Amino acid sequence: MKWMDAKRLAATAMVAAMTVSLAACGTPGEPANKNDSAKTESKSERKGGEDVKTDAERPEAVSEEDWEAMQKEPVFGTEINYLFNGGACVSAKYMAEVQGYYEEYGINATYMEGDSVVTTVGTGQCMWGTDHIATMLVPVTNGVDMTFVAGAHIGCKSIFVNADSDIKTVEDLKGKKIAIHDGIGNSDQNITYRLLDEYGVDPTKDVEYLDIADSAATVAAMESGEVDASIFSDYFVLANYPEDMRMICSITYSPEFQDEPCCVTAMNNKFIKENPVHAKYVVMAIKRAGEYSRLNSEEAVQAMFDTDKMTGEKENQMVFWDSLHFGLSDAFTERALKEIAEDYIRLGIITEKDITAEDVMELAWTPVCPDEEIEGLTVGDPVEPENATVPVKQKENPVVSEKFGLSK
């Protein structure tokens, strides 16, 4: 659609202008500039900046046809960078590197630390990254040059009140002040909009939002009565205030939200267009890593600690990790994305005139590696969707939190 192309060009120019000072994470077909910024650092830099080595011998896991096609793509034999700043929620793409899945497909993928997915993947500085749908869907709809290629996991945020608060239900939040942490109109507020709307509270009229960037300051504001409730990461409360706060509603644990992903992996559109076979195998590696993370959570969490990508108490990290249901199916993700798009349009989060959910999906959803192409893949859908093409398999006997009143 012509208006989509125009929006994408305008958005790309805008994001590029905002990120002139960002370090380049590597454009398709060439290594990253190692000297742009101390904020971005590749694994090759930490090893002393050795040259990227390529091996023309076909990996066993790649078909002859695909290998022939890969060798003709611009990024073949180069180091390809993706965004990862640590943390459980967005870890599957990193776990694919740790477990050697990228390497199995002849792909030299290395994580970079940097700015947001929108400002790095959206401008081609990194080729893929993972973040909240609530963070990325509006920019993608506005034309930022990336698309979603796989669901990552469910949940991870909830609205909390003080344990002794008179607020018992979502309806009790009417007329109250709710803290968010990343600015008006961004991820926290978008999630809160949908949580309130689901339970009959008008998110545009019935509550007041206070933007308090620091979580500790938010806790103090709740204790003083300056705010009545706040959206927080489940892990933040579990690790720090399990007895002092009470969950009111959740995109992790409320049944109404357990049938949708919280986070998705986004990929640069130019990378996909110019390197479709590489893109397919990158997503294949990430999906396998999601399955590994779900079914082998103890080993996966330990790997995160061992590589300094996770801190805190391991028990709490295990509880949080197992709540995420890593490795969601395409069917699960696609259905939920369309429903979220419909909600965003109805609630005025997406403001483009005359846009439909189908228009949003055309921009936002590009399953470059369908689930059924990955032999033996199982997925972590907590609610099995229609049109599922691969089996659902959950970890046996997951860790359940006795603190905090949370269970799966």
Region 399-404: mean pLDDT is: 52
Query: What are the structural domain ranges in the chain?
Result: 2-154+262-373, 157-250
Q: What is the pLDDT at residue 396?
A: 83
Whether pLDDT at 25 is above 70: no
Please check the confidence at residue 228 and state whether its pLDDT lies above 60: yes
CA torsion 390-396-397-399 (nearest 10°) is -60
CATH number, domain 157-250? 3.40.190.10
Cα 332 from Cα 263, distance rounded (Å) = 12
Angstrom distance (rounded) from CA 280 to CA 287: 11
H-run or E-run covering 117: helix 117-120
87-134 confidence digits (pLDDT tens): 999 999 999 999 999 999 999 999 999 999 999 999 999 999 999 999
pLDDT at 397: 72
pLDDT in tens, 159-196: 999 999 999 999 999 999 999 999 888 999 999 999 99
The string of pLDDT tens digits covering residues 45-82 is: 333 334 444 457 999 999 999 999 999 999 999 999 99
* Whether residue 85 has pLDDT greater than 70: yes
Structure tokens at 354: 């005359």
Q: Say if residue 380's pLDDT is above 80.
A: yes
For 144-156, the pLDDT digits (tens) are 999 999 999 999 9
Alpha carbon of residue 197 to chain centroid:
23
| Predicted local distance difference test score (pLDDT) of residue 324 | 95
Average pLDDT, the chain: 88
Structure tokens at 266: 């986004």
pLDDT at 26: 39
Q: Which two tokens stand for residue 296?
A: 């082998």
pLDDT, mean of residues 244-273? 96
**What DSSP assignment string belongs to 306-367?**
HTTS--S-HHHHHHHHHTS--S--HHHHHHHHHHHHHHHHHHTSS--TT--HHHHHHHHB--
Query: What tens digit of pLDDT does each residue of 26-51 get?
Result: 333 333 333 333 333 433 333 333 44
Residue 4 has pLDDT above 80, yes or no: no
* CATH architecture classification, 2-154+262-373: 3-Layer(aba) Sandwich (3.40)
% of the chain with per-residue pLDDT over 70: 84
| CATH topology agreement for domains 2-154+262-373 and 157-250 | yes
pLDDT of residue 400: 54
**pLDDT at residue 288 greater than cutoff 80:** yes
Region 221-241: what's the mean pLDDT? 97
